[in-house]
Amino acid sequence: MIDSEGSADQYHPIDINILDKNSNLAFNIFSKVQGASEDRYILYASKEPRYRDKVRELLQSSELMEELYIHEEDLVLYFEHATDSLREYIINSTASPEKKMAKVYDLSRDVTHQFFEANSSPEILRGSGQVVELMEKCLDNNELGFHGLTRIMEKDYYTYTHSINVGLYCMTFALKIGMPADEVHELGLGGMLHDVGKSGIPKEIINKKGALTDEEFETIKSHTNNGVEVIRELGCYGEKVIQMVGQHHEKYNGGGYHQGLIGEDISLFARICKLTDVYDALTTRRSYKKSLKAIEALTIMKSKMGNEFDPKLLNSFIRMMGPEG
């Protein structure tokens, strides 16, 4: 039995059922043992080639009930491995699109949670493109629709699940209005990443229940420019994604931030992001507000905020969110 190294908070729970049990392990897997003062992590399966057969046997033996963990330095590898396994599953399984999307949602939630809540480096977001590809595969046959998605989505508002929801809404909307595949992909990415700049803002401000002071509001507003910096730094995203991150708080009739752009000077991608961003914020629950039903949210968007959105896009969105979904 080999004891772990480092402190307990460096271990990250993983979903072992997502991994392809026939492939070679790229990282060590640990199990948790409760200690008197602190939990200890014990090597459960080794990545070393000489243990390969034993590890496969172990992982295939039965439905694993035990919680298993990896060290944080292997997170990126784990996400890559999990994405590959999930791709196989999506292509080969006969499960429903909803079930497949639920698994992709869980994996994305894990990635974005790491970034927004566990202070992981933005490098963790590099795999977002592959996650968006998996989402595209699940949306491909168009069976899911907005209402199918809503059943899978987290109903409480967290920045990390909000990001995934916005990405999925953007992609579904783009598919429904007939945008080409490469643009659907960009919209998914931009939606998932639109609030990355919030990772640098203190949680007390993000989660504040009462009204924000002017200073706090300025801090919140900085997330668009900060986000653009983070995304540019990663160097793997195109201009459309950057526009979504930088312009999703612009308003169609002007007066938004940060550039105060008006009408079609705001990128089409950012105008779509703005719609789905507000829609998800209104239809999810926070400690200080209940979630609105689809029809209530759309009514507010049309009657009270109509001038903030591109009217054509808003009308299409309202039509698509209707009962036909």
Q: In what order do the strands lie in the sheet with 68-71?
A: 11-14, 68-71, 29-33, 40-45
> Which of 110/277 has CB closer to Fe ion?
277
The CA-CA-CA angle for residues 295, 297, 300, to 5°, reads 110
Query: How far apart are CB 197 and Fe ion at their closest, in Å?
Result: 8
Residues 87-116: x where in contact with Fe ion by CB under 5 A, - otherwise, as a string: ------------------------------
Name the segment binding Fe ion (CB under 5 A); options: 21-29, 61-69, 192-200, 296-304: 192-200
On whether the CB atoms of residues 106 and 59 are closer than 8 A, the answer is: no
Q: Using the minimum distance from each CB to Fe ion, give the nearer residue, 107 or 275.
A: 275
Binding mask 258-277 toward Fe ion (x if CB under 5 A, else -) reads -------------------x
Q: Which 274-313 residues touch Fe ion, going by CB under 5 A? A: 277
The answer to whether residue 195 forms part of the interface with Fe ion (CB under 5 A) is yes
Which of 250, 91, 268 shows the shortest CA–CA distance to 190?
268
Tokens of 226: 């900060």
Instruction: Specify the residue, 144 or 270, whose C-beta has the smaller distance to Fe ion.
Output: 270
CB of residue 228 to Fe ion, shortest distance in Å: 12
Helix H or strand E encompassing 188: helix 181-193
**Least Å distance between CB 176 and Fe ion?**
21
Q: How many other C-beta atoms lie within 10 A of the C-beta of residue 7?
A: 10
Q: How far is the CB of 30 from Fe ion (least distance, A)?
A: 35
d(CA 74, CA 231): 22
Give helix 128-139 / helix 97-117 axis angle, nearest 10°.
160
Positions in the binding site for Fe ion (CB under 5 A) = 195, 277
